[in-house]
Amino acid sequence: MPQIGLVTMRARRGESLHALALRLRRRPDVVSVEVERRHRPRLVPDDPALTAPEMGSGATSGVAVQWWAARENLFSAWDVSTGEGALVAVIDTGIDLRHPDLASRIAGTINLDPRHVNGRGMADTQGHGTHVASLACATGDNGIGMVGAGYRCSLLVIKSDLSDSSVAEAIVVATDRGADAINMSFGNSSSSQPPTALVRAVAYAYRHGVTMVAAAADSPVLQQGDPANLLQPTGTGRDIGAGKGLSVTAANFSDERAPFAGRGSQISMAAYGSFSSARGGPRGIFGAFPAQLAGLETGSAGGPCFCRTTFAGDNRYAYVQGTSMAAPQVAAIAALAHHVNPDLSAGDVIRILKRTARRPPGTAWGPELGWGILDGGAALNAARALDRTRPVSRLQVPRRVGNRQIALRWTGSDASPRGVASSGVAAYEVWRQVGDGPARRITSTTATQTTVAATPGERYRFFTIAVDRAGNRERPPKVTSP
């Protein structure tokens, strides 16, 4: 292509790409040599709610039923990960196990609701749990209904009576079952000291690398109640590294905090939980709903929601608004971030989600939307750019030495999970143990060999510790007798 100075070449038979590049770079008429990459089509799921126009009264023309997917940059997130293998634990009121958008996503169910141990089992009599679960992991690209923020993430559904002990047990069980993220779309109005069991459960999950997400209050108050205020305590919202989880408030179609949603220093970030246009529009966020009559409809948990809708001939969907709808979207992206880069800690994921959230340029945390509105694509790209993998090295020591000198040689590498950037080895520390004494560092170098003076009759033990450019250090070996 002479217009842009491009020539595409293949290596000769038996010639490596590296050898070809060296040969070409010797030519004075070659400006640069690059190994060619291959692109792939952008992922475009066929779930109809992504493209079907919203027909609710007052909805803006051209707005899709599932308008929030594009606003939260989920299409870019799904180019990074489709969620296969990521596990979201949803602690809630159960689930409709037969719902076509959820049945294939359920990795396990646990009933911790003593009121429904027999008979109703995991059935979602309220409708809340089914709706919440769908916003996290409804099956993507299955040609029906909707898609969750996590596309094809798996669900560990934990039915709870939402008592302190049940919630604490659910957090521990979810952690032990390998959940990447835990969603808690519930809370109380308490501003008092959280119960010890809940404090310990949260600490347990955080210590094991699980990202916990809780819905903020469904009223415009400063105290979000447990468990949100435990994940992001009062006064810590503006500190990007503070807290053991994420307290999520609800944004509306206008990118503002929904009028009903919590605000203040306990807010970590936001996701869409309402349409809430001054002109009207949908009654909430579109999601899955149980087949049977649900408590949200009958008003057993408040006034009737009038939320059930028929979509493409199926009435197992509903429009529900609340911070409960915002939280699972964040939890799903948190789970995908862990799966994209398994070496990330819970603290890493929390900071990534806050740092990449969408907010006006030049602004940081604010009491209305916290660090901003979820940006799934930016979050997952940041997750795979963060090197948290320890480098490794291997030392070669001669068994016998002479001339009072020991020649040491070593190799090192800084491999990362597939798709995750590697920062590369920055330096090697060389450590020496003399006799039964303590191991001491004798040098730090970028080289891969050195010579060390030795005393006849002494016994030595050497090892190297690689350090990469991201600051990750190789684990030192257990020092034993030389």
The 10s digit of each residue's pLDDT in 456-466 is 888 899 999 99
Residue 301 and residue 424 share a domain: no
pLDDT of residue 191: 65
Query: Among 110-124, 136-150, 249-263, which is the least confidently predicted range?
Result: 110-124
When pLDDT is averaged across residues 352-370 and rounded to a whole number, the result is 95
| 346 and 217 housed in the same domain | yes
Q: Please give the share of the chain, as a percent, with pLDDT higher than 70.
A: 95
* pLDDT > 90: percent of the chain: 79
Mark whether 96 and 141 lie in a shared domain.
yes
**Residue 40 predicted with pLDDT over 70:** no
Write out the residue range of the structural domain in which residue 455 sits: 392-468
User: How far apart are the C-alpha atoms of 135 and 99, rounded to whole Å?
Assistant: 13
Domain shared by 270 and 406, yes or no:
no
Q: What is the pTM of this model?
A: 0.87
Residue-level pLDDT at 37: 79
* 221 within domain boundaries: yes
One domain for residues 456 and 397 = yes
> 233 and 323: one domain?
yes
Summarize pLDDT for 422-449 with one digit per residue, the tens: 999 999 999 999 998 999 999 999 999 9
Residue 58 predicted with pLDDT over 90: no
Residue 272 has pLDDT above 90, yes or no: yes
Mean pLDDT of the chain: 92
173 shares a domain with 99: yes
More confident residue, 338 or 54: 338
Q: What is the pLDDT of residue 119?
A: 43
